[in-house]
């Protein structure tokens, strides 16, 4: 049987400062930082709060990534997972039991990025803490999340869970509203336990469920909003294309009071292991010339 709650020592360890999961894009990392809304408020300047040196997705934080096919949803999630794992094995200490693991991925995507690293066998070390679970049906989706707490009990170093995507097996026209509600409830319960009991950060990607027409937006597949799988404060990152073909991301925070705070759009591009800031890349190139 699972323990009904964590011990006092486990709780203290779970709330201590941990390095966040970074996306590879500093502006996006800042938006995902838990204190970003507070810093954006007029009263923040009058406080003594000092922003952290590192930004990104924190333990127990929930992020939903939305966008059309090809917009970069998987790449963004991939970057969070691989960069978090790489930073952990590069700077962590296995003996101190502070090396985190993630639930996701494929080998070939990361070889080009880390093949020249000074850390011996870094790619193998990264992948040793990456768990890929392939789900091919809505029944498997429900079964896996029903047993997720027990899986995390055996793999308690996992601190980031990526579900890519939650709509892949909940978009079937044959699924009734009741069937979809049951799956959503199972996924929500599993993720909430992973977040609260095991201090996992949660990332879920979704596909668009509407299309635009002359009559407005039309629902083409069953909708699956973030409140269907999370009951806590939610960070949403919506990916889209600009008219010139460049990519943009808009981060919004939706809390329990349904107040929505949107950040300014952020331009990004994708690479082999995630996303990056093209403006920062241009600036770095100019500085080296």
For 128-180, write each residue's pLDDT tens digit. Answer: 667 778 788 888 888 989 999 999 999 888 888 888 877 777 766 677 778 88
> What's the confidence (pLDDT) of residue 97?
46
For the chain, list the domains and their CATH numbers. 8-14+58-288 (3.40.50.300)
Please report the sign of the dihedral spanned by the C-alpha atoms of residue 137, residue 143, residue 148, residue 154. Answer: negative
> What's the confidence (pLDDT) of residue 168?
75
Percentage of the chain surpassing pLDDT 70? 58
Pick the residue with more confidence: 134 or 199?
199
**Lowest mean per-residue pLDDT among 7-21, 106-120, 124-138, 157-171:** 106-120
pLDDT average, residue stretch 266-287: 78
> What's the confidence (pLDDT) of residue 261?
81
> What's the confidence (pLDDT) of residue 284?
59
Return the closest-CA partner of residue 235 out of 249, 253, 248, 250.
253
Return the closest-CA partner of residue 18 out of 138, 159, 124.
159
Tokens of 128: 């040793």
Contact between 92 and 173 (Cβ < 8 Å): no
Q: Is pLDDT at 265 greater than 70 in this prediction?
A: yes
What is the C-alpha separation between 91 and 76, in angstroms, rounded?
22
DSSP string across 55-92: -SBPTT-EEEEEESTTSSHHHHHHHHHHHHHHHHHHH-
Q: Is pLDDT at 226 greater than 50 in this prediction?
A: yes
**Alpha-helix residue ranges (DSSP H) falling in the chain:** 8-15, 26-32, 36-40, 73-91, 108-114, 122-128, 138-146, 148-154, 177-196, 278-288
pLDDT average, residue stretch 203-218: 63
What is the C-alpha separation between 36 and 253, in angstroms, rounded?
10
Q: Is pLDDT at 219 greater than 60 in this prediction?
A: no
Burial of 112 (0-12, 13-18, 19+ CB in 10 A): exposed
> What's the confidence (pLDDT) of residue 44?
36
Tokens of 59: 């333990």
Per-residue pLDDT tens digits for 19-71: 788 888 889 998 888 655 544 444 433 444 444 556 888 888 889 898 888 88
Q: Which residues are bridge partners to 101 per DSSP?
A: 158
pLDDT average, residue stretch 256-269: 81
Place of tokens 């709650």: 5
pLDDT average, residue stretch 234-259: 83
- pLDDT tier, 88 (very low <50, low <70, confident <90, very high otherwise): low
pLDDT average, residue stretch 80-87: 77
- End-to-end Cα separation, the chain, in angstroms: 61
Place of tokens 């790489």: 86
Cβ within 8 Å of residue 30, ≥6 positions away: 36, 55
């Amino acid at each position: 049987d699972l323990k009904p709650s964590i011990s006092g020592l486990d709780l203290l360890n779970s709330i201590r400062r941990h390095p966040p999961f970074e996306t590879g894009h500093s502006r996006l990392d800042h938006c995902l930082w838990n204190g970003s809304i507070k810093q954006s408020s007029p009263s923040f300047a009058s406080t003594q709060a000092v922003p952290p040196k590192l930004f990104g997705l924190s333990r127990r934080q929930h992020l939903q990534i939305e966008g059309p096919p090809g917009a970069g949803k998987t790449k963004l999630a991939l970057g969070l997972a691989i960069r978090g794992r790489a930073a952990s094995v590069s700077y962590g200490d296995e003996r101190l039991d502070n090396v985190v693991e993630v639930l996701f991925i494929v080998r070939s995507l990361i070889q080009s990025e880390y093949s020249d690293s000074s850390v011996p066998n870094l790619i193998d070390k990264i992948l040793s803490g990456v768990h890929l679970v392939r789900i091919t049906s809505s029944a498997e989706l429900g079964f896996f999340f029903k047993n997720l707490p027990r899986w995390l009990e055996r793999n308690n170093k996992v601190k980031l869970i990526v579900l890519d995507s939650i709509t892949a097996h909940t978009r079937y026209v044959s699924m009734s509203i009741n069937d979809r509600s049951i799956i959503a409830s199972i996924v929500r319960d599993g993720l909430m336990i992973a977040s609260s009991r095991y201090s996992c950060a949660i990332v879920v990607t979704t596909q668009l469920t509407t299309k635009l027409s002359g009559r407005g937006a039309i629902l083409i597949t069953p909708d699956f909003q973030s409140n269907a799988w999370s009951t806590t404060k939610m960070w949403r990152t919506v990916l889209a294309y600009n008219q010139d073909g460049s990519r943009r991301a808009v981060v919004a925070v939706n809390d329990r009071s349904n107040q929505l705070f949107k950040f300014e759009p952020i331009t990004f591009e994708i690479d082999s292991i995630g996303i990056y800031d093209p403006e920062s890349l241009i600036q770095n190139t100019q500085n080296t010339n």
